[in-house]
Amino acid sequence: MSARPDTGGDAVARPIDIGLIDRVTDDGSLGPRRAVGASLQPTLAELSVPGRRTDQVPHPPADALAGIPDDLLRSSAPALPELSEPQVMRHFTNLSHLNHSIDGGFYPLGSCTMKHNPRVNETAARLPGFARLHPLAPDTLAQGTLELLWELQGMLSEVAGMAATTLQPAAGAHGELTGILVIRAYHRARGDVDRDEVIVPDSSHGTNPATASMAGFRTVTIPSAPDGGVDLEALRGALGPRTAAVMITNPSTLGLFERRIVEVLEATHAAGALAYMDGANMNAIMGRFRPGAASFDVMHLNLHKTFSTPHGGGGPGAGPVAVAAHLVPFLPAPLVVRETDGTFRLERDGERPGSIGRVRAYQGSVGVLVRAYAYIRTHGGPGLCRVTDDAVLAANYLRQRVGEAWDLPYAGPCKHEFVASGARLRRETGVRTLDVAKRLIDHGYHPPTVYFPLIVEECLLIEPTETETLADLDAFAEALLAVAREAHEQPELLHEAPLTTPVRRLDEATAARRPELRWRPMTGAETPCPQ
C-alpha cells in the first residue's frame, strides 16, 4: 500500500500493483504506469528534470572557455541527465540493493567459496601505512609492507608445503597461467622441449585447459572413474614423453578428495612430467593436507576463496603461486627477500636469471594480500585447521539434509562442496535444474552453481562454507526441499520462476547473441525493454 495524492483532491491510500510503478509528474498528477518490478526504479534519464543540478564548485569566469579552439567546442550542451545530488545517491544505493552479496544473505555458489570477509581484515588493509604507500616507493620507505609480504610468502609456502611463493598473480586463472609458465621454463631449461601436452581430468575447472592453451600446450582430457576420481588407466595411457604436466584440482569440483593421489603423482613423475595442483579448493584441506609434502610441484592459492579476501565484482584479486625447490629459480621476479641485517628488499634485476619475469605490475594486489595476512594471523595454525573442519562438516550436513529429494551421484562423504543431480526430478516432472535455480530466487536465495561439472546430468554444485550457522544451513535445506515439492505439485510455477524479482526470466541465448547494450527510451506504456 502507498499513500499518494489523488488528482481528485484529498489524499487517499490506494494500492500499487506488483510489477507496476506510478510516476508522479511535475504538476503532481500521476503519469503513465510502467511495467517494471516494484523495487526497480526509473533510469537517470527518466528521473531527469531540466535545470535540476547540484553546484558544488565555484562558478567559472565568463572567459573560461576562451582558450579552447572553436572546432573543439560543442555547439550545444551534452544530453546528460539533470538531477540533484540526493537523487543520484539514492539511485545508485537502491540499485546496489538489487544485488545479492555475502553481506546480505547465504551464497551457496559451488566452486567459489563465497564466505564472509571478516571486518578486521578490512581495518588492517585501510591502515594508512599500507593504503597510502606508493607502489614505487623505495625499499627503505616500504619496510613495513615488505616485511608483511615476506612473512605472507612464508605463511603460504607453509600452508602449501612448498619451498617458495610468488604473490604477483592477480587471481586464480592468472595463478594457473603463472604456474604453467614456470613448468614450461623448467622443461626448456633442461632441453626437454618436446613436452607440449598438459593432461587434465574431465572434472577440472574450465580454466585449466584454457591455461594450457594460452601457454602453448595441447590439452589432453581424460575421463573420471565411476567414483569421481581420476581414472588411473586413462591417465597412464595418456602419459608419455610429450607430457609436460598433469593439472589436478584436489579436492575436485565434484567435492571429492582424490583417493588415488599417491598413484597419480607417482605415475606423473615417472613419465618425467610435473604435477600441478589447482588450489581453488584449499578451503577443504587447509592445515590437513600439504600438497608439496605429497610431491606436487606447483600450485596456486585463491586468496579470495581460502583466505577470505573480497571476491568478485571485477575488483582486484590474488592468486599466489607456490612451488617446490627445483622450480624456485623460475618463479616471477621480484620476490621479497630478507637481508642478514633484518631489513627487507625486492630482488634486483637479474638476481635470478632463470625467472620468467614479471606477470603483474608492482607486487600484486597488496591491499588484498594485507587482508589475507590478517586472516592468517587472526586464526593461527589451529584456527586454519578449524576452518577446514567446519567447511567439511557444513557441506556434509547439508548434503545429508537434501539427499531425500535430490540424487547424490557419488557415495560417501564430500569435502567442502557436493554435487546433486536433478535428472530424476526432470524425468518425473519436466522441471530442469535451471528452473530450480530460478525458483530458489523467489525463496530468497542466490542459486548454487548449475550444470557444472558437465559430467553430472542436471547438476547442482553446492558449497555452504564454514561461516554459515546451523540455522542458515537448515533454512536453505528447507528451501531446496520445498522447491522439490513444488516441482511435483506445481511444475508450471518453476517454469515461470522467478516471480518476485524486478526482472523476470530472460532469454539468455538471445541476450548473449544479440545483447542490448544501450539504453533507449520506452516506446509505449508497460514496455520495459523495447526491441
Domain segments of the chain as ranges:
119-378, 387-513
Q: Is the pLDDT of residue 112 over 50?
A: yes
What is the distance between the terminal CA atoms of the chain, rounded to a whole angstrom?
Answer: 32
3-class SS of residue 404: coil
Structure-block grid coordinates of residue 402: 537434501
Which residues face 4 on adjacent strands?
A: 12
Query: What does the pLDDT read at residue 315?
Result: 66
Q: Is the pLDDT of residue 519 over 80?
A: no
* Residue range 275-288: mean pLDDT, rounded: 96
Class of domain 119-378: alpha beta
Query: What does the pLDDT read at residue 434?
Result: 96
Query: What does the pLDDT read at residue 3?
Result: 34
Q: Is the pLDDT of residue 30 over 50?
A: no
Q: What percent of the chain has pLDDT over 90?
A: 73
* Residue range 133-150: mean pLDDT, rounded: 97
Query: What does the pLDDT read at residue 504?
Result: 84
Q: Is the pLDDT of residue 35 over 90?
A: no
Nearest Cα to 252, choosing from 454, 512, 17, 101?
A: 454
Mean of per-residue pLDDT scores for the chain: 88
Q: What percent of the chain has pLDDT over 70?
A: 89
Q: Is the pLDDT of residue 529 over 60?
A: no
pTM reported for the whole predicted model: 0.85
Q: Is the pLDDT of residue 94 over 50?
A: yes
Query: What does the pLDDT read at residue 22?
Result: 35
**Interacting residues of 52 by C-beta distance below 8 A, sequence separation 6+:** 82, 83, 84, 87
Q: 34-48, 130-144, 196-210, 380-394: which has the minimum mean pLDDT?
A: 34-48
Encode 337-366: b = buried (16+ Cβ within 10 Å), e = exposed: eeeeeeebbbeeeeebeebbeebbeebbbb
pLDDT digits (tens, 9 = 90+) for 292-307: 999 999 999 999 999 9
Query: What does the pLDDT read at residue 201?
Result: 94
Q: How confident is the model at residue 316 (pLDDT cuts 50, 70, 90)?
A: confident
Query: What does the pLDDT read at residue 204?
Result: 86
Query: What does the pLDDT read at residue 388?
Result: 97
pLDDT digits (tens, 9 = 90+) for 242-272: 999 999 999 999 999 999 999 999 999 999 9
Q: How confident is the model at residue 26 (pLDDT cuts 50, 70, 90)?
A: very low
Q: How confident is the model at residue 10 (pLDDT cuts 50, 70, 90)?
A: very low
Query: What does the pLDDT read at residue 326?
Result: 98
Class of domain 387-513: alpha beta
| Most trustworthy range by pLDDT among 28-32, 224-228, 243-247 | 243-247
Query: What does the pLDDT read at residue 200?
Result: 96
Query: What does the pLDDT read at residue 314?
Result: 58
CA pair distance 193, 429, nearest whole angstrom: 55
* Residue range 196-215: mean pLDDT, rounded: 93
* Residue range 94-114: mean pLDDT, rounded: 90
pLDDT digits (tens, 9 = 90+) for 403-415: 989 999 999 899 9
Nearest Cα to 482, choosing from 450, 423, 432, 442?
A: 442
Give the residue, 335 or 520, on which the prediction is more confident: 335
CA pair distance 114, 467, nearest whole angstrom: 9
Nearest Cα to 289, choosing from 267, 261, 331, 254?
A: 261
Q: Do 222 and 234 touch, CB atoms closer than 8 A?
A: yes
Q: Is the pLDDT of residue 501 over 70?
A: yes
Q: How confident is the model at residue 56 (pLDDT cuts 50, 70, 90)?
A: low
Residue type for position 12: V
Nearest Cα to 399, choosing from 466, 473, 488?
A: 473
Q: How confident is the model at residue 437 (pLDDT cuts 50, 70, 90)?
A: very high
* Cell 509528474, located at residue: 25
CA pair distance 399, 415, nearest whole angstrom: 10
CA pair distance 227, 427, nearest whole angstrom: 24
* Residue range 504-517: mean pLDDT, rounded: 84
* Residue range 319-342: mean pLDDT, rounded: 98
